[in-house]
Amino acid sequence: MQVTVISPNGLQELSGGGLYLRSLVQGLAEAAPVRAVRVLSKRMTGASAGYRHPQIQQIEFAKNRLLDVAARVLLRPTFLGLYHRAIARHCADADVVFLHNTRCGGIMRMLRARYPDKKFVMVSDNVEADLHDQRSAGKSGLRRLLAGIESHAVRGAEACCRSADALTFITRTDAELYARMFGPVTRQAVLPITVKAPDAGVQAAAPTRPTVLFTGHFGFPPNVDSLRIFVRVAQAVNQGRAEHERIAFVAAGANLGKLALDDAPGLTCHDSPSVAQMDLLFRSATAYLAPVKWGSGMKTKVAEALSYSLAVVALPNAGVGYEALQEDATLSRALDVVGDEADLPTRTLACLQHAPSDSRAIAWQAYSQFYSTASQARRLEAILKQLGA
């Protein structure tokens, strides 16, 4: 089976959209009926270029400010709308076409008219109309007018997605929101974020004391607020403990050094660690704390922690998208969702008191079953089977 994937993101793009595109493409490459995957996506340059996989063919389209302006003038919610002829040509030999991002709804409508016998799957990683409205709030004058025009184009594209042969969402919450905004969907599924397993050949020294990790990009306001909660948990857990009895709390991520933080016993901060350094921090941790109170979408950091066999303690916002794990009678122990921030210190200590080998085994099983590339391949195989592809 030949599959074509269309996305406004780049395969090596360092963004939520780029990560989700890789999750989709890697899953398709491992799906049993798929012979080859062709990806039509944004051209990446510099350090972000050069994605390689034996089953994946890349065809990239340039994006720049001029093309963005042209797309808006022509009421096309994605720059890919300017390449509709080339896109149609590259889809000619595809059995199934996956379109990543509901802004591509108009492109799907064009392709369906040209290729009525092909199957089309729309893959949503956000309800784009709702996201656009949130970003446009507070604008006035000409900016408000332009935002309103773009909102109309985005809603039109997103409404087209109901005609896809299958429509997938990153979370159940998004599926419910889309149905409220645009009406029920006949055939839908949830495709959560998945991440590749870390390199099994890399070893790290076992921690000399229990270590709780939190990571993120600290130019992002929800992560900044989460870091301050992380510091307060460290203060509460280590209050009154002798130095040799303290739990280690480790925070790491870009822009961390720009923040002024309260002192906390046992707290260590790593500003903008390299990929290799971040890998070692995960391998050296005992548990992961995700005290995220706000922000949209599924938090990748939770899946990443599970991939390193780390049990996770999280606030409810960080648990969004992980409902399947929370509902599993056995594996739900890998993710403790805490309703009240005040309970985080005691629940973090409770997590650390479990036998490390048992905690790691449960976390790895949870990752393997729900958030690994193999698990995504299984979901995609089920969708393709339902389509009769």
- Give the Cα separation of 113 and 356 in Å (integer): 56
What is the dotted CATH code of the domain comprising 211-371? 3.40.50.2000
Instruction: Specify the pLDDT at position 356.
Output: 86
Residue of higher predicted confidence among 86 and 206? 86
Structure tokens at 94: 């595809």
The confidence score (pLDDT) of residue 126 equals 81
* CATH topology identical between 2-194+373-387 and 211-371: yes
Among 38-42, 271-275, 356-360, top mean pLDDT goes to 38-42
So what's the pLDDT on residue 349?
97
pLDDT digits (tens, 9 = 90+) for 110-133: 999 999 999 999 999 887 766 656
Q: How many CA atoms lie within 13 A of 8 on its CB side?
A: 24
The domain locations on the chain are: 2-194+373-387, 211-371
Which of 76-85, 199-208, 344-353 is the least confident region? Answer: 199-208
Structure-model confidence comparison of residues 13 and 145, the more confident one: 13
Q: For the domain 2-194+373-387, what is the CATH superfamily, name and number?
A: Glycogen Phosphorylase B; (3.40.50.2000)
Has residue 201 got a pLDDT over 90? no
Q: Burial, 106: exposed, middle or buried (Cβ in 10 Å; 0-12, 13-18, 19+)?
A: buried
pLDDT in tens, 44-97: 876 555 567 788 999 999 998 888 888 777 878 889 999 999 999 999 999 999
List, for residues 232-290, the tens digit of each pLDDT value: 999 999 999 999 999 999 999 989 999 988 889 999 999 999 888 999 999 999 999 99
Return the residue matching tokens 């949870």.
366
**The whole model's pTM is what?**
0.84
- Whole-angstrom Cα distance, residue 38 to residue 56? 6
Q: What is the mean pLDDT of the chain?
A: 90
Return phi, psi of residue 106, to 5°. Answer: -65, -35
